[in-house]
């Protein structure tokens, strides 16, 4: 939405420009009349002063500007993440509300007093970065006295219908858009504005005059997403190619290492097989010596056993022989003597 309606005072002097919806509000309220296709004339001298006109124009046009301090995290959302920041935007320090994170939902809310049967415009700037996932989305909702009675404006949704911003610019780190969300209050005297993000992060600012963003490159939202998808795909492809190349170099190096190790092993085996005979006979001589020593020891054992063999039957009894043998010998001698005596008596 641009300020393309020329506003004049009661004398026909141009006092400024306004938005089409603001002009309709001034005409509807009886404060101005339409004098041309893109011109209205104020009907009261109170608007002769340009400053007074701008002040009253903002009031009658019912522009609701975004103010970070006016919003708070919603108590109805259990996974909120948000921080108020002071950042430099277009050369000026402004309040910003950073909300959301991948994998969670965040909602901020603000209550606003409004007049029944009036047209309003909620105006704000949102900056966001590319998120490849299809679940990333953001939306603004305006509810009246009862939640559920109002409007929802989808802001970010991949490959789905969205509410079109009045300005869309490409920045160094993402996308900048200015939204102007129109609504009519109906018979309500109050409304609640909610901004929700899911699976993404957004930065919300007050919107400046559109001319303040002239230095930035114009771009369509869908085109920006296509460019970012191509950039991410190319980065992944380059990274994959680099990883494959690195793995190939590593495998080649490992192959060279295995080849060198195999050469060393083959050489060691060959050295063992082709070792000179003199070196190979030494263990055999040692083995013969051990065999001769074993046979000598066996001879010694045999000789010892031969020495311990029992005496012949004709050998004299040992002095250590049992006493029973001596008794038998004495008995035998007595018997012999008795026999000899009996023989003598008979003669």
DSSP one-letter string for 73-91: E-TT-TT--EEEEEEEETT
Whether 119 is covered by a domain: the verdict is: yes
pTM higher than 0.75, yes or no?
A: no
Question: Is the same domain home to 103 and 152?
Answer: yes
> Within 10 A of 108 (CB to CB), how many other CB atoms are there?
24
pLDDT the model gives residue 220 = 85
124 and 53 in a common domain: no
118 and 157 inside one domain = yes
Same structural domain, 213 and 238: no
Q: How many residues does the chain have?
A: 347
Instruction: Please give the Cα distance from 5 to 42 (Å, whole number).
Output: 12
In a domain, 306, yes or no: no
Residues 72 and 215 in one domain: yes
Per-residue pLDDT at 304 exceeds 60: no
242 lies in a domain?
A: yes
- At residue 91 the predicted structure's pLDDT band, cuts being 50, 70 and 90, is confident
Q: Is residue 115 part of a domain?
A: yes
**What is d(CA 110, CA 98) in angstroms, rounded to the nearest whole number?**
15
Based on the fold, state whether residues 11 and 125 are members of the same structural domain.
no
pLDDT of 27 above 70: yes
- Residue 80 inside a domain? The answer is yes
CA 110 to chain centre: 33
Q: Do 241 and 213 reside in the same domain of the chain?
A: no
pLDDT at 18 over 90: no
Confidence of residue 10 (pLDDT cuts 50, 70, 90): confident
Containing structural domain, residue 51 = 5-61
Do 79 and 209 share a structural domain? yes
Q: What is the mean pLDDT of the chain?
A: 75
Identify whether residues 75 and 168 lie together within a single domain. yes
Asked if residue 320 is part of any domain, the answer here is no
Q: How many C-beta neighbours within 10 Å does residue 173 have?
A: 10
Same domain, 198 and 253: no
Residue 11: pLDDT over 70:
yes
CA proximity to 128, closest of 82, 175, 90, 196? 175
- Residue 157 belongs to a domain with what CATH number? 2.60.120
Looking at the structure, tell me whether residues 145 and 250 fall in a common domain.
no
Query: Of 193, 219, 245, which residue is a domain's last?
Result: 219
| Number of helical H runs and strand E runs in the chain | 5, 17
Select, from the ranges 97-101, 112-116, 250-254, 341-345, the one with the highest average predicted confidence (pLDDT). Answer: 97-101
Q: Within a domain: residue 179?
A: yes
Domain count, the chain: 3
pLDDT, tens digit (0-9, with 9 covering 90-100), for 242-276: 666 677 667 777 767 777 777 778 777 777 777 76
Whether 180 is in a domain gets the answer yes
Ranking 99-113, 198-212, 332-346 by mean pLDDT, the lowest is 332-346
| Domain match, 88 and 31 both | no
């Amino acid at each position: 939405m641009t300020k393309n309606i020329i506003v004049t005072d009661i004398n026909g002097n141009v006092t400024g420009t306004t938005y089409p919806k603001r002009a309709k509000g001034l005409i509807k309220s009886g404060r101005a009349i339409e004098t041309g296709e893109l011109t209205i004339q104020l009907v009261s001298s109170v608007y002769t002063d340009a400053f007074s006109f701008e002040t009253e124009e903002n009031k009658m046009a019912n522009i609701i500007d975004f103010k970070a301090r006016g919003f708070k995290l919603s108590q109805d959302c259990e996974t909120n993440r948000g921080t108020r920041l002071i950042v430099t935007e277009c050369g000026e320090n402004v309040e910003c509300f950073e909300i959301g994170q991948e994998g969670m939902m965040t909602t901020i809310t603000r209550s606003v007093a409004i007049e029944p049967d009036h047209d309003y415009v909620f105006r704000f700037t949102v900056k966001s970065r590319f998120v490849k996932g299809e679940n990333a989305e953001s939306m603004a909702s305006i509810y009246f006295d009862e939640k559920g009675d109002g409007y929802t404006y989808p802001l970010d949704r991949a490959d789905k219908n969205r509410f079109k911003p009045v300005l869309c610019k490409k920045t160094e780190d993402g996308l900048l858009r200015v939204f102007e969300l129109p609504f009519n209050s109906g018979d309500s005297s109050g409304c609640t504005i909610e901004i929700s993000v899911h699976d993404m992060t957004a930065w919300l600012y007050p919107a400046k005059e559109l001319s303040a963003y002239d230095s930035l490159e114009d771009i369509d939202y869908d085109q920006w997403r296509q460019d970012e998808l191509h950039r991410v795909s190319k980065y992944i492809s380059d990274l994959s190619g680099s990883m494959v190349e690195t793995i190939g170099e590593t495998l080649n190096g490992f192959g060279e290492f295995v080849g060198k190790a195999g050469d060393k092993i083959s050489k060691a085996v060959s050295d063992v097989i082709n070792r000179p005979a003199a070196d190979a006979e030494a263990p055999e001589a040692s083995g013969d010596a051990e065999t001769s020593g074993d046979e000598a020891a066996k001879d010694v054992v045999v000789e010892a056993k031969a020495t311990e063999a029992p005496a012949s039957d004709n050998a004299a009894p040992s002095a250590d022989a049992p006493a029973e043998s001596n008794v038998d010998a004495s008995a035998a001698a007595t018997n012999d003597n008795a026999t000899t005596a009996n023989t003598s008596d008979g003669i």
